[in-house]
Structure 1
Amino acid sequence: MNVLVIEDNPSVCSMLEMFFSKEGITGKFVYDGLKGYEEYKKHEWDLLILDWMLPGMDGVTLCRKIRQEKSTIPIIMLTAKDSESDQVLGLEMGADDYVTKPFSPLALMARIKAVTRRYQLAEQDQQVSSSDVLLTENFKMSQSTREVYLQGRKITNLTPKEFDLLYYFLKHPRQVFTREQLLERVWGYQFYGDERTVDVHIKRLRKKIETETHPFFHTVWGVGYKFDESVEANED
């Protein structure tokens, strides 16, 4: 992983450099916002870590500038500002996460892994969905029109999140997902509910699309759920 760190505190940079070397991360450290932006433009980076207060160009302005260029690079902000309004401002400017100073390298590493994992999952999902219309043995779904057909019959009583959940399962047939994975990928990582939310939505979907002789959702005990339209699965 190649990480660009734009941070004007030498002690913070030294700490991160030592920790990165232990984690197998290649880190480039720049102490000025304008110079950091120039370095960002020169190379391909896997992650950008920005300090809030920087000489030349502050981290919030730099983050906004990068996002205005339609860049999808993961961005984590380091900030000594711990008020909720400041943190919200950083996220609104396009940061994916923030870490409040002082922080431990382990805490930052956990954020790095979480942010990069979300981007990897999003890329995987984008590759899976090559068409707006999703066709399976029993279903036809359009993400743009939000229409669902089951064996040619239009289903009109799905809530938005039920639609998203069904669409996700149809894109990943017979794959087993934990409740935590479904919350992360369908509801989003900022969702603060509990895992029973998944159970409730699947229960509602079962009532709306399944029959006693033709179930689609299958509980994998001790793990989570999978979606399988095959006859063999229904005979288990």
Structure 2
Amino acid sequence: MVPTTSSPLRVLVVDDERRLTELLKLELDVEGYDVEVASDGATGLIRAKTSPTPDLIILDWNLPDFSGIDICQRIRAGGLTTPILMLTGHDEITDRVTALDAGVDDYLVKPFSLDELMARLRAMHRRADSFSGPSSSNPVEEELRVGDLVMNTRTRDVSRGERSIQLSVKEYDLLNFLLRGAGRVLERQEIMHGVWGENFYGDDNLLDVYIRYLRQKVEEPEAPTLIHTVRGVGFILRDTSP
């Protein structure tokens, strides 16, 4: 069942498949959620931003007016951090990367079991509910640096030397995690948990994809290598210059 709260969790379902939305609404009602349904992207976007905003969003990739990717990007551009679970028939690594970069928290490939969908909703809610900002007694560093690679966590600016580096949301999260663990070997599972969350169900090949993207943007031919592979274990970020 849904975690106990003072009031039912609000779930917005954005999908144009009537039979699926009716089934989801029935199941979510039984589980104790307060459910609202939108059959197109424009309506879903309005309801996602309307107070009270939903606690969780289930968003289909293919909608009659906009793609779920477009809707997710617009939701995130508006500053909303509501956890989003994307339903999709796309199961390629590149599709998963596209969804995660758009701001999706998790995705579920059709066809799926209702038990798995409920488990993922609970996991997303636990992760969002457990998040808390840094306390004054344990402030997060505003600047992270390894060699000439610098990240300003307040402005989210990243640079190497005089060169500014543009990163996607997940690329930034991954580099942030590597920088905070700089100088020690980070195991693959540790990185996956730190960047995608302990309850993320995705393929860990995503980590290799994002490491490759980071290297393409961060590394320079004439400069010391910063991101190193520790075969069979994970990765380490360190400055190897003399």
TM-score normalised by L of structure 1: 0.58
Q: How does 1:143-158 map to 2 (within 5 A)?
A: 143-144=141-142
Match status 1:161 vs 2:181: yes
Quote the sequence identity (%).
34
Give, in whole Å, the separation in 2 of the partners of 1:142 and 1:102: 41
Match status 1:99 vs 2:108: yes
DSSP 3-state at the match of 1:20? helix
Bigger relative contact order, structure 1 or 2 (CA pairs below 8 A, ≥6 apart): 2
Q: Which residue of 1 aligns with 2:159?
A: none
Q: Which residue of 1 aligns with 2:11?
A: 3
The 1:160/1:101 distance shift into structure 2, 3 A limit, reads same
Match status 1:23 vs 2:31: yes
Over residues 3-42 of structure 1, what are the superposed CA-to-partner deviations in whole Å (9 max), with x where a residue is unaligned?
0000010111111111111110111111111111122222
Give, in whole Å, the separation in 2 of the partners of 1:48 and 1:93: 14
Length, aligned pairs only: 156
Give, in whole Å, the separation in 1 of the partners of 2:87 and 2:66: 15
Contact 1:67 1:94 in 2 (8 A): yes
Q: Which residue of 2 aligns with 1:167?
A: none
Q: How does 1:202-213 map to 2 (within 5 A)?
A: none
Which has the higher Rg, Structure 1 or Structure 2?
A: 1
Q: Which residue of 2 aligns with 1:130?
A: 135
TM-score normalised by L of structure 2: 0.56
Residue identity in the other structure for 1:13: T
Deviation at 1:161, TM superposition (A): 2.6
Contact 1:48 1:75 in 2 (8 A): yes
Q: Which runs of 4+ in 1 moved over 2 A?
A: 141-147, 159-164, 183-192
Q: How does 1:178-217 map to 2 (within 5 A)?
A: 184=193, 188-189=197-198
Q: Which residue of 1 aligns with 2:58?
A: 49
Match status 1:75 vs 2:75: no
DSSP 3-state at the match of 2:87? strand
Contact 1:146 1:163 in 2 (8 A): no
DSSP 3-state at the match of 1:54? coil
Structure 1 unaligned blocks of 5 or more: 135-140, 148-158, 165-179, 193-236
Q: Which residue of 2 aligns with 1:33?
A: 41
Deviation at 1:121, TM superposition (A): 1.3
Over residues 175-206 of structure 1, what are the superposed CA-to-partner deviations in whole Å (9 max), with x where a residue is unaligned?
xxxxx99x8569943696xxxxxxxxxxxxxx
DSSP 3-state at the match of 1:73? coil
Deviation at 1:144, TM superposition (A): 3.3
In the alignment, which of 110, 120, 130 is matched to residue 111 of structure 1? Answer: 120
The 1:144/1:79 distance shift into structure 2, 3 A limit, reads same
